[in-house]
Each structure stands twice: as structure tokens, then as C-alpha cells.
Amino acid sequence: MKQESTVDLLLDVDQRPSAGKGILLSFQHVFAMFGATILVPLILGMPVSVALFASGVGTLIYMVCTGFKVPVYLGSSFAFITAMSLAMKEMGGDVSAAQTGVILTGLIYVLVSTSIRFAGTKWIDKLLPPIVIGPMIIVIGLGLAGSAVTNAGLVADGDWKNALVAVVTFLIAAFINTKGKGFLRIIPFLFAIIGGYIFAVVLGLVDFTPVLEANWFEVPGFYLPFNTGGAFKQYNLYFGPETIAILPIAIVTISEHIGDHTVLSQICGRQFLKEPGLHRTLLGDGIATSVSAFLGGPANTTYGENTGVIGMTRIASVSVIRNAALIAISLSFLGKFTALISTIPNAVLGGMSILLYGVIASNGLKVLIKERVDFGQMRNLIIASAMLVLGLGGAILKLGPVTLSGTALSAMTGILLNLILPYENKD
């Protein structure tokens, strides 16, 4: 199904560039996704190699599920950082709850996909209006604000060198986002990380020992939910309250999924939510997310950065994205390369996180403004207030074996209040 494109495409979805040009275009997509894709595992303390491998494999899974009809790249999702970090903290550093939660979230995608296949999408609009989605995104963004500030060294006993590196990293990202032109503006994370890293090297904050000790070729450091005889680290499938608290994040990420595909449809002059259909795009995203978590990686999500590259280059070829996925998989096996990434100081990540978490929270406000949510309506004010206070105030609700807190409690509260609170009559 076609619609009017917002750009004049040079190559359509089913067309292919020449081999040489295609490789260059694919590397451009790798650069676009790279900064964000490695930032998530670095913040969560996960192997970067696994995240790269999972992003490539996840993209290929998505393409198979959608019949190679949609030029989408899947990378590490920021939306799960808060919930996964809290799950790890509550489990004493054990990743079992976090990984199990993301696996189940992917399966929720699959269930929603099946429901959409047979019942349509109207029920999603009723369950998740902007007044629920907006505050939930704000809670996700601000939930780890304290962690960002600590990593940046902006605390009472912080080292001035760390604080300076964080500020420089933040400013590089901020200036690129506001003053950058063309492709430069699409990859602010990558350039900010590189700039902050170089500055940290100058200040003597980087230890290159892991790079010197690493092999050129190394199998990614997978975490698997079964015993491999010591070949890989193991985690256990865990279905406790820490796991359940991660599941409501699917509410936000499904909404983001729909939004990303709507924008891409406009750029490509297609109606991807109808052909191949939302049920198939969600299926691919869900399976990719579960597979990534199964291997010990973060959740996957559709990347707006790569959509931006398509809009800028006017190349919508699926084959270009497919080859970018294969390049990402190849990079995950370069031991010295992934070891170099692991030497990035916390101060660089802290500077990036201040901007990242703030932007996520601001996007929640953007949803409320764009959808013109009427805060003159007391019901909307009550829903947003309850979600923000419960989500950010450390509230905990125990219901038998189930414990709800943070994002999970905020989401459930918003959904229930939206369903039961009456609309006001305007006389």
C-alpha cells in the first residue's frame, strides 16, 4: 500500500544500490545506531559485544517476520534502563530478573501482535491514551536521574576531573544536537562519546590494559539461562516481583513502535502499519527483544536514528539495512574493538546520561503537548499527578507475592484511573 512520500526517494524499499555504494550506505547506518546501541549496555554493565550481536540478529529476525518489506534497524532500547537497573540492584547485581523480564516483555509483544491480527488496534488507543503514555515516559526518564548525576561526578565527594569530562561530553552532544548539520546531527551520541573519551584520555582517566589483553577475535560474552560448562556465564529464569515490575514498560515501547513506523511510512510513501501490518512488525520486534534478552543483551527497539538516515539520504533500501545488521554482528566478534569500548569512563556515560534521561522525560511532555491534553480537565490532572508522584516517589505496593513499584506501579495506576475516572461535563 502506498501513500504520498514526504521525500523523493532515490532507492525504494525493494531496490538495491551497487555493491560498493551499498557497503558505504550500510556503514552509515551502523554509525547512526552505534552510539545509542553501545550506550545502553555500558550503562547497565552488560557486554557491548552481546548488544551489537543482538541488534544485528534482531534486525534480521524483524526483517524475516515482515517479509523484508520494512527498512527498520533494531538497536538497544533506552526505555528499559530504569526498570532493568532497579531489578539488578534489588537482586544484588544478579541479572536474572532483568533478563527474564525483558524476555517476557518480548512475549507480550507477540501476544499483542496476535490480538491485533484478530481484533484490530482500537483497544490499544482506549487503554493507552496520551494522558497515560506522557507521564509514564517522564517517569522512565527521571527514574535514574540520580545515577546519571553520580556517574558524572557531580556529587559532594566527586572528582573534579570526572565532573569536567561529564560536562564536556554533555556540551558536545548538546551543541551537535542544536548546531549540527546533515548526518552529523543524526549521530550526536557517537561524536559525544568519542569527544568525551578523548578528553578523558588527556586527563589520564582511561586504562588501556583491557585492550592490550584482549584477543583480536573473541566470541561475544553471552549470558545464557542454562549451564554451558563454563563456556558462557549463566543466569536463571526468575519470575519474582522484580521481573514483573519490568513488564509494564511494554506499554510505552509499543506506543513508540507505532510512532516510529508511522514516521517511516510517511518518509517512504508506504503504509507499513497496514502492509505488512502492525501485527507483523510487532511480532518481529517482540521476538527480537526476547532473543536479545535470552542471550544476555538489552531489549531491542526500532531506531529513529536510522529512520533519520533514510530521510536524509533518500535511500530506503531494505538490503542496505540488512547489510548493516551483518556488519554489526561482525563487529561483535572483534575482541580489541569491544574491549576499547569497555574502557569508556563512567564520567563520559554520566554526561551522556544527563542529556539522555532528560530528553526521554522531555519527550513525555512533548506527547502531552502534541496531543493537546487538556489539564483544565481535573481527571487528567489527577491521572498525571498520581503517576508522577508514585513513579518517582519510591512508592511500593505489595499484593500477595506481587510487588509493584516505580514505573510498573505508575503505569498500572494511570491505566486504572483512566478507565474509572469520569470525564467532566462542560456546561
User: What's the pLDDT score for residue 34?
Assistant: 83
Please say whether the dihedral angle defined by the alpha carbons of residues 167, 170, 172 and 177, taken in this order, is positive or negative.
negative
Is 71 in contact with 317 (CB distance < 8 Å)? Answer: yes
User: What's the pLDDT score for residue 6?
Assistant: 55
Is residue 299 a part of any domain in this protein? Answer: yes
Q: Compute the distance between CA of residue 13 and CA of residue 66 in angstroms, rounded to an integer.
A: 12
What are the φ and ψ backbone dihedral angles of 24, each rounded to 5 degrees?
-60, -40
User: What's the pLDDT score for residue 36?
Assistant: 81
Residue showing cell 502499519: 273
Centroid of chain to Cα 166: 22
Cell numbers describing residue 422 = 469520569
Is 6 in contact with 262 (CB distance < 8 Å)? Answer: no
Q: Please tell me what DSSP assigns to residue 273.
A: I
Please say whether the dihedral angle defined by the alpha carbons of residues 306, 310, 311 and 316, taken in this order, is positive or negative.
negative
Mean pLDDT, rounded, for 307-323: 87
Residue showing cell 495506576: 413
Residue 122 CB neighbours (<10 A): 9
H or E element in which residue 220 lies: none
Burial of 84 (0-12, 13-18, 19+ CB in 10 A): buried
Q: Compute the distance between CA of residue 317 and CA of residue 304 in angstroms, rounded to an integer.
A: 16
Interval 47-75: pLDDT, tens: 999 999 999 999 999 999 999 999 999 99
Is residue 302 a part of any domain in this protein? Answer: yes
Q: Compute the distance between CA of residue 140 and CA of residue 81 in angstroms, rounded to an integer.
A: 8
412 pLDDT higher than 80: yes
How many domains would you assign to the chain? 1
Is residue 6 a part of any domain in this protein? Answer: no
14 pLDDT higher than 80: yes
Interval 346-371: pLDDT, tens: 899 889 888 878 887 888 898 899 88
414 pLDDT higher than 60: yes
Q: Compute the distance between CA of residue 89 and CA of residue 27 in angstroms, rounded to an integer.
A: 36
Q: Compute the distance between CA of residue 146 and CA of residue 350 in angstroms, rounded to an integer.
A: 10
Is residue 145 a part of any domain in this protein? Answer: yes
Closest CA relative to residue 52, chosen from 64, 63, 72, 36: 36
Is residue 173 a part of any domain in this protein? Answer: no
What stretches of 70-159 show up as alpha helix (H) in DSSP?
Answer: 81-90, 96-119, 122-127, 130-142, 145-151
Cell numbers describing residue 370 = 502534541
Residue showing cell 527480537: 288
The set of residues, in sequence order, having a beta carbon less than 8 Å from that of 230 and lying 6+ positions away, is none
Is 319 in contact with 22 (CB distance < 8 Å)? Answer: yes
Q: Compute the distance between CA of residue 166 and CA of residue 160 in angstroms, rounded to an integer.
A: 10
Is residue 1 a part of any domain in this protein? Answer: no
When pLDDT is cut at 50, 70 and 90, the band that residue 122 belongs to is confident
User: What's the pLDDT score for residue 2?
Assistant: 65
H or E element in which residue 384 lies: helix 378-392
Q: Compute the distance between CA of residue 262 and CA of residue 175 in angstroms, rounded to an integer.
A: 28
Q: Compute the distance between CA of residue 292 and CA of residue 324 in angstroms, rounded to an integer.
A: 17
Interval 174-201: pLDDT, tens: 998 888 777 677 677 778 888 999 999 9
Interval 165-177: pLDDT, tens: 999 999 998 998 8
103 pLDDT higher than 90: yes
426 pLDDT higher than 70: no
Selection from 202-211, 257-266, 360-369 with the highest mean pLDDT:
202-211
Is residue 295 a part of any domain in this protein? Answer: yes
What is the chain's mean pLDDT, rounded? 88
304 pLDDT higher than 90: no
Burial of 210 (0-12, 13-18, 19+ CB in 10 A): middle
Cell numbers describing residue 321 = 539495512
Q: Does a cis peptide bond (omega within 30 degrees of 0) precede residue 129?
A: no
Is 131 in contact with 419 (CB distance < 8 Å)? Answer: no
When pLDDT is cut at 50, 70 and 90, the band that residue 4 belongs to is low
User: What's the pLDDT score for residue 3?
Assistant: 60
Residue showing cell 547489510: 323
Mean pLDDT, rounded, for 105-133: 88
Interval 214-247: pLDDT, tens: 899 999 999 999 888 888 899 999 998 889 889 9
User: What's the pLDDT score for residue 86?
Assistant: 87
When pLDDT is cut at 50, 70 and 90, the band that residue 41 belongs to is very high
User: What's the pLDDT score for residue 35?
Assistant: 77
Is 412 in contact with 248 (CB distance < 8 Å)? Answer: yes
Interval 287-297: pLDDT, tens: 999 999 999 99
Instruction: Give whole-number Cα distances, 228 to 98, 215, 232, in Å.
Output: 20, 21, 6
Is residue 369 a part of any domain in this protein? Answer: no
User: What's the pLDDT score for residue 405?
Assistant: 76
Q: Report helix, strand or coil for 405.
A: strand
User: What's the pLDDT score for residue 141?
Assistant: 81
- The residue segments making up the domain with residue 314 are 19-157+205-345
Centroid of chain to Cα 270: 24
